[in-house]
Amino acid sequence: MKLHILGCHSATPRSTVFPSSQLLEINNELLLIDAGEGMQIQLRKYKHKFNKIQHIFISHLHGDHFYGLVGFLSSLRLIGREKSIHIYAPVGLKEIIELQFILTKTDINYPLFFHELSSLESELILETDKYTVKTIPLEHRVYTNGYLIREKTALRKLNIDAVKQYPEIETWAYHNLKRGKDFVREDGSIIPNETLTLPPPPTKSYAYCSDTIYKPDIIPLIKGIDMLYHEATFLEMHKDLAVKTKHSTAKQAAQIAKDAGVKFLVLGHFSSRYPDETQFIKEAKEIFENVDIAEEGRSFEV
Ligand SMILES: [Zn+2]
């Protein structure tokens, strides 16, 4: 699992920074999380293949989180997309997007599915054989969800040296061994799976929480995850603004990370009022050590 930051600033695009958008790379697939203006340009700039995106998750209906989406969907049509696209977003996004296609007489010629969200409880919204995606109910000025992505347990690894010691094990049996089954010889005797395979690599988990006020009741949902991206629009010196606009400070994001026992925290959604963004790290480190800041074009191994 790898996180690629396309945009991590609040409000408006500027000459060098972009509003919220990121990719989570998982098993050669790219999950697009939020689609702020300019995300297509960022995809091109950092050479991410459009074709690897099939699932798109939008946190809330503020422009800095989805104004790049309609352009992206339109481009997919122009470059001959055939595979389906699934969009998970608050109720209303479908209407917004479809109206633009109707009035511009744009014929979307690939399968496009909207999964509209309105629940105030966490829900499982996507399950594949490799991972699951759940919503994380957040609190902002409009209905907002974060997203929690968890890898499923991978297959066990073949211990080739061990397997080679048993000529009766042919390659057709490898599939079952990777799935944890014992090898049964023709005479009925058994070679236990543990002697032939190694444990699968540990599964990874990632949560995206933006935008939101300080909301400690998300902690049980994200307990012990490998990486948390949490918004930190403000520093503590502007805590009053954070309360008023329903955003968080770096210190509050760090407190969530600490209380949830996450392994690593990435801060983002910075307000443009701060010329030196290392201040966010400094403030957060007073509470939680394993923290860094997002930056356009930066990638983080989960
Ligand atoms: Zn925002």
Overall number of domains in the chain:
2
Same domain, 82 and 161: no
Same domain, 42 and 190: no
Percent of the chain with pLDDT over 70: 100
Q: Do the beta carbons of residue 106 and residue 81 sit within 8 Å?
A: no
Distance (Å, whole) CA 256 – CA 272: 23
Same domain, 75 and 150: yes
How many angstroms separate the alpha carbon of residue 127 from the centre of ligand 1? 27
Same domain, 13 and 147: yes
How many angstroms separate the alpha carbon of residue 23 from the centre of ligand 1? 17
How far is CA 154 from each of CA 8, 128, 148, 216, 276, rounded to the nearest angstrom?
31, 12, 18, 31, 41
How many angstroms separate the alpha carbon of residue 58 from the centre of ligand 1? 11
User: Which residues, including other chains, have CB under 8 Å from residue 128's CB and lie 6 or more apart?
Assistant: none
Query: What residues sit around ligand 1, an ion, with C-beta below 5 angstroms?
Result: 64, 211
How many angstroms separate the alpha carbon of residue 10 from the centre of ligand 1? 5
Write out the residue range of the structural domain in which residue 173 sits.
Answer: 157-198
Same domain, 143 and 237: yes
Question: pLDDT by residue (tens digit) across 116-138?
Answer: 999 999 999 999 999 999 999 99
Name the band, by pLDDT with cuts 50, 70 and 90, for residue 89.
Answer: very high
How many angstroms separate the alpha carbon of residue 245 from the centre of ligand 1? 10
CA geometry: angle 4, 129, 52, nearest 5 deg: 35
User: What letter represents residue 220's amino acid?
Assistant: P
Same domain, 182 and 215: no
Which of 146, 178, 198 terminates a domain? The answer is 198
Distance in angstroms between the alpha carbons of the first and the last residue of the chain: 5
Residue 155 has pLDDT above 90, yes or no: no
Residue 291 has pLDDT above 90, yes or no: yes
Query: Where do the DSSP E strands lie in the chain?
Result: 2-7, 21-26, 29-35, 53-57, 85-90, 112-117, 124-127, 131-139, 143-151, 157-158, 183-184, 190-191, 197-198, 205-209, 227-231, 264-268, 291-293, 299-301
How many angstroms separate the alpha carbon of residue 189 from the centre of ligand 1? 62
Same domain, 132 and 73: yes
CATH number of the domain where residue 92 is located: 3.60.15.10
How many angstroms separate the alpha carbon of residue 116 from the centre of ligand 1? 19
Question: pLDDT by residue (tens digit) across 40-85?
Answer: 999 999 999 999 999 999 999 999 999 999 999 999 999 999 999 9
Residues 48/53/58/59 CA torsion (nearest 10 deg) = -70
The residue from 34, 64, 211, 226 that is catalytic is 64
Distance (Å, whole) CA 53 – CA 42: 14
For tokens 């629940």, the residue is 119
**Arithmetic mean of pLDDT, 149-162:** 92
Q: Do the beta carbons of residue 136 and residue 146 sit within 8 Å?
A: yes
Structure tokens at 129: 């054989």
How many angstroms separate the alpha carbon of residue 104 from the centre of ligand 1? 27
How many angstroms separate the alpha carbon of residue 9 from the centre of ligand 1? 8
Q: Please, what is the average pLDDT of the chain?
A: 96
Name the band, by pLDDT with cuts 50, 70 and 90, for residue 154.
Answer: confident
User: Which residues, including other chains, have CB under 8 Å from residue 61's CB and lie 6 or more apart?
Assistant: 89, 90, 92, 93, 96, 142, 143
Structure tokens at 87: 């969009």
Q: Do the beta carbons of residue 149 and residue 222 sit within 8 Å?
A: no
How many angstroms separate the alpha carbon of residue 70 from the centre of ligand 1? 17
**What is the reported pTM?**
0.90
Q: Do the beta carbons of residue 302 and residue 4 sit within 8 Å?
A: no
Phi–psi pair at 178, nearest 5 degrees: -65, -25
Same domain, 146 and 287: yes
Same domain, 164 and 185: yes
For tokens 């689609």, the residue is 35
Question: pLDDT by residue (tens digit) across 161-214?
Answer: 999 999 999 999 999 999 999 999 999 999 999 999 999 888 999 999 999 999
Transcribe 170-197 into DSSP letters: -GGGHHHHHTTPPEE-TTS-EE-GGGTE
For tokens 């009741």, the residue is 217
Lowest mean pLDDT among 13-17, 19-23, 175-179, 268-272: 13-17
Transcribe 59-95 into DSSP letters: --SSGGGTTTHHHHHHHHHHTT--S-EEEEEETTHHH
129 catalytic per annotation: no
Residue 288 has pLDDT above 90, yes or no: yes
Residue 108 has pLDDT above 90, yes or no: yes
Same domain, 295 and 179: no
Q: What is the pLDDT of residue 173?
A: 93
Residue 25 has pLDDT above 90, yes or no: yes
Residue 11 has pLDDT above 90, yes or no: no
Same domain, 82 and 141: yes
Same domain, 134 and 8: yes
How many angstroms separate the alpha carbon of residue 214 from the centre of ligand 1? 15
